[in-house]
Each structure stands twice: as C-alpha cells, then as structure tokens.
Amino acid sequence: MINLLLLPIILPFFFAIILLFFKEKIQIQRALTLIGLVISFIASVVLMSVVKDNGVQSLTLGSWPAPFGITMVSDMVSVLLVTTSIVITFFIVMYSFISIGKERERFYYYPSVLFLLTGVNGAFTTGDIFNMFVFFEVLLMASYVLIVLGGEKKQLRESIKYILVNVISSALFVATIALLYSVIGTVNMADISVKITEIGQPGIITVIAVLFLLVFGIKGALFPLYFWLPGSYAAPPMPVLALFGALLTKVGIYAITRTYTLFFIHDLSVTHELLYVLSILTILAGCIGALAYFDLKHIMIYNIVIAVGVILFGVALMNESGMTGAMFYLIHDMIIKGALFLLIGIIIAITGTSNLRQMGGLMKTHAPLGWMYLIAAFGLAGIPPLSGFTGKLLIVKGAFEAGHVWGSIIILASSLIVLLSVIRIFIYAFWGEPVELKTTNRRAYRKMIIPATVLVVLSIVYGVGSEWFVPYMSDASKVLLNPSLYIDAVLKE
C-alpha cells in the first residue's frame, strides 16, 4: 500500500465531494462527515506506525522519478500534525452539530470544513514548495468560506480584511517561489536543499529566506505581521474560530519550521537570529494583548500569538532540546487551543456575552464546565503534570544550552502572564455573584461539553503520558535537525 501517506489528504477530500450531493439533508451530512473523519483518523494512525517503524515515507506522484514529479513526504513531524488535525476537526465537528445552526449547515458548512482539512493535511505532507502553495490556497479558500458563512455584518467586514491580507501574502509567496526557482531551478524541497548546499547559501538565498519568513509570518501571525489576526478570528462563530485557532496558524509555523530546517541552514547567524528576535517580540506582543482585553475571545486569540512565539523560539534554537520541545509544544498547543476555544464557546453560549465584566458565579450553576476550564487553563500555562509543561521545559532547556538566557527568562515570564490571563477569565466568569442568566437549553449544553471534555482529557493524557510520546517527538526533531534523512528518503540515493 504505497499510497498510504496520501489517504489522510484524499479521504477528507472525497467525503467533502460526496457532501456536495446532500445540500439539504443535514443528518446525512453530519453522519458522513463523522464517518469520513474516523476513517481518515484510522489511516493516519496506521501511517504513523509505519513512519515510526520504517522512517520517512515518500511517494512521487505519477510514477515520475523524484525531483521531476510532485513528491509527498510523510515524516514524523508531518504525520503527528496530520493526526492531531484530524482529531481536533472531529471534535469541533461534533461541537458544531449543536452550535453552528441549521442555516449554516445547509450552506456547505461541513464540506468547507473537510476542504479546509484537506488543505491543512496536504500542506503538512507535501514535499514540493509550489504544491505547498496550492494546498495553502485550498485551505485559505475554505477558510474564506467559513469566515464569511452566515453573512453577519461583523463577518463581512472582517472577511474583507482577512481575504485582502491573505491575497497579498499569497502573491508574495508566488513571487518568492519564482525568485527561488530562478536561482535554484527546482521546486522539489529535497532537491532545493541539495542545491542550496552545493552553492553554499549566497546572499540572494538569505534574502529569499527572509521573504519566506515574511510570507509564512503573515500566515502564522509572527510579530509585526499578526495585525490581521485578532479582528478576523473574533468574527466567525465559535466552532470556526476553534478550527482556525487550532489549525491555521500552525500551518504557517510548520512551513517556517520546514524551510528553516531544510533549506536555510548555512547562515544561521542571520536567518535564525532574525527568527529568534521576532519570536521573542511575538511573545511580548501576545502577552500585552492577552492582558489588555476583557473579552474572552480576544484573550484567547492573543494566547495563540504567544504560542506562535514560543514554538518558533524553540525552532530558532536549532538544537535537539529546543526542537523536540517545539514539536511537543506544537501538538500540545493544537489540542489545548481546540479545547479552550470550545470551552469559552460554551461560556459565551450560556452567558450570552463575551464581555468578562458581565458574567460571574457560573461555578454555582455549571461546576463541571468550571473544573474543565481550570484544568485546560493550567495545561495552557504549563503546570507540571499537564500538557504544556514538557514542551516548554525542553524549550527553556534548549535556550540555556544555546546560551540564550534572556530568551528563556522571557519564555518563563510569559507563562506567568498566560496563566494570569486565563485565570482572570476563571475568576470573573466562575467566581463572584451569579448574574442573571437567560434560560439555556441544558441538553444542548450537555452535548456541547462532551467534545470539549474529551479534548481536555486528551490534553491530560498527552501531559501525563509525555513519556510515551518522547520517542515520536525525538524522531520528529531528528528529521528536522538532519536534513539528510529527509533528502535520502525523497531522492533515494
């Protein structure tokens, strides 16, 4: 079964097409979406075990030899991200059954989610820089649909900004690939890496590296380029926000990680120093935003920005602890952001507002929600047995090894601010005098809390069982730190 590594991309795509036939039949759409995601999940788990046993898997489409066809590469990094994306999408889809509303479901909501997943999984798996652009567009098109679907005033306004920013960054992406192609003469990522090593990264390649950082920085919300994110992410309904928060910026992070560990590794003092400085600034900007707002959505959205900074800080260190930590933290962040967005979505659904000052006393009426939120909040901040701890510990360890003492102090201080920002939500929403709640449907509430709870439990398992995941994460960082593993798997030399 040599096509196994394509199944997590093809299956969501296939089910998205099938869903187009059942526009008005919501029940069939829901059932097919869940079935499709379960099958994709099984395929990705099988793929993960194959990658674990046999190393990097690669396949060049159309039986062409390696640098000439489009190569798809599945190493531990990509297969971990693909599996996590499918799991999170599954729970968000379950949550959508209750919270998204019939009107949106009738207008291709589920096909859009599956097309988004197709694009995300494709971008994680591809081994061809132009194909990565195409998959970026697939996921962006689907995200345009999701952000504007429903047609509220706020959504229309923010989707214009979102589309404008992304169209510009996509154009820049094409221009950068064109520049790279004119210098190197290939778009196959393994081949690019070989050719750059041959010419020893002259100045023009470093310029291209910075341009890539600009492109992926816009997608992944890096410091001066994150300006579009808070407004755009606050506009769509909660499940869409959870999907975006958990998946979209991570594609940008993955792309930066891939290009900065595979291509641009010969002039670390320029490229990686820049990445290092920008990631620190990203953390600081995110911290300021997370403390500044009294709005649930905005606090969480700025926490996305902080996490982007932390992960890229780990990547910029280019040593084993840092890279392993970054991988740990990346997966953790996808799970925990999914869980937290679903939980604050429930809080907003119960209280009918996202303003912290207008809520209180939920602990008396919704105790399980409170405890789940508290656990997720501690997990986000990195309290030891929970999931955020291992990743951040390894990143800080890597930073001390690399001699970046100030960087690690900022990472540690940022954890405190993350904790403060999410605990503030807990204190305002769950403690204090109960406010007058509009009567809510308890059954809907119970159905919404199930997927959120399962995600929180997953994050607990991920934190408590870090030991089980260590081999996977160190495999991932090994591939990232030794590009030759990747190149040999693709070019089969």
Applying CB under 8 A, the residues found at the interface with other proteins are: 1-3, 6, 10, 13-14, 17-18, 20-21, 23, 59-63, 72
Are 143 and 237 contacting, i.e. CB atoms less than 8 angstroms apart? no
Task: Return the amino acid letter for 428.
Answer: Y
Q: What does each C-alpha distance from 125 to 192, 296, 316, 319, 431 come to in angstroms?
A: 17, 34, 22, 23, 45
- Going by C-beta distance under 8 Å and a sequence separation of 6 or more, which residues neighbour residue 86? 8, 12, 37, 40, 41, 44, 117, 121
> Smallest distance, Å, CB 60 to other proteins?
6
Q: How many CB atoms lie within 10 A of CB 9?
A: 26
> Smallest distance, Å, CB 36 to other proteins?
13
Largest CA distance in the chain: 69
> Smallest distance, Å, CB 21 to other proteins?
6
Nearer to other proteins, 15 or 90 (CB): 15
Nearer to other proteins, 44 or 282 (CB): 44
- Going by C-beta distance under 8 Å and a sequence separation of 6 or more, which residues neighbour residue 45? 83
Q: Which two tokens stand for residue 287?
A: 């911290």
> Smallest distance, Å, CB 127 to other proteins?
13
Nearer to other proteins, 60 or 96 (CB): 60
Nearer to other proteins, 78 or 279 (CB): 78
Nearer to other proteins, 21 or 468 (CB): 21
> Smallest distance, Å, CB 126 to other proteins?
12
Nearer to other proteins, 14 or 371 (CB): 14
d(CA 241, CA 233): 6
Count of positions (residues) in the chain = 493
d(CA 256, CA 244): 18
Nearer to other proteins, 127 or 370 (CB): 127
Under DSSP, the state recorded for 247 is: I
d(CA 394, CA 205): 31
d(CA 428, CA 421): 11
> Smallest distance, Å, CB 24 to other proteins?
11
E-assigned strand segments in 271-422: none
**Angle between the N-to-C axes of helices 249-262 and 296-317, in degrees from 0 to 180, rounded to the nearest 10:** 10
d(CA 415, CA 417): 5
Nearer to other proteins, 3 or 365 (CB): 3
Nearer to other proteins, 105 or 475 (CB): 105
Q: Which two tokens stand for residue 81?
A: 């991200």
H or E stretch covering 358:
none
> Smallest distance, Å, CB 438 to other proteins?
34
> Smallest distance, Å, CB 309 to other proteins?
37
d(CA 446, CA 343): 12
> Smallest distance, Å, CB 69 to other proteins?
8
> Smallest distance, Å, CB 22 to other proteins?
10
Nearer to other proteins, 20 or 416 (CB): 20
State the Cα angle at 374 between 303 and 370, rounded to 5°: 120
d(CA 286, CA 467): 30
Query: Shortest CA distance to 125 belongs to which of 52, 67, 56?
Result: 56
d(CA 122, CA 40): 13
Under DSSP, the state recorded for 246 is: I
> Smallest distance, Å, CB 62 to other proteins?
4
Nearer to other proteins, 17 or 164 (CB): 17
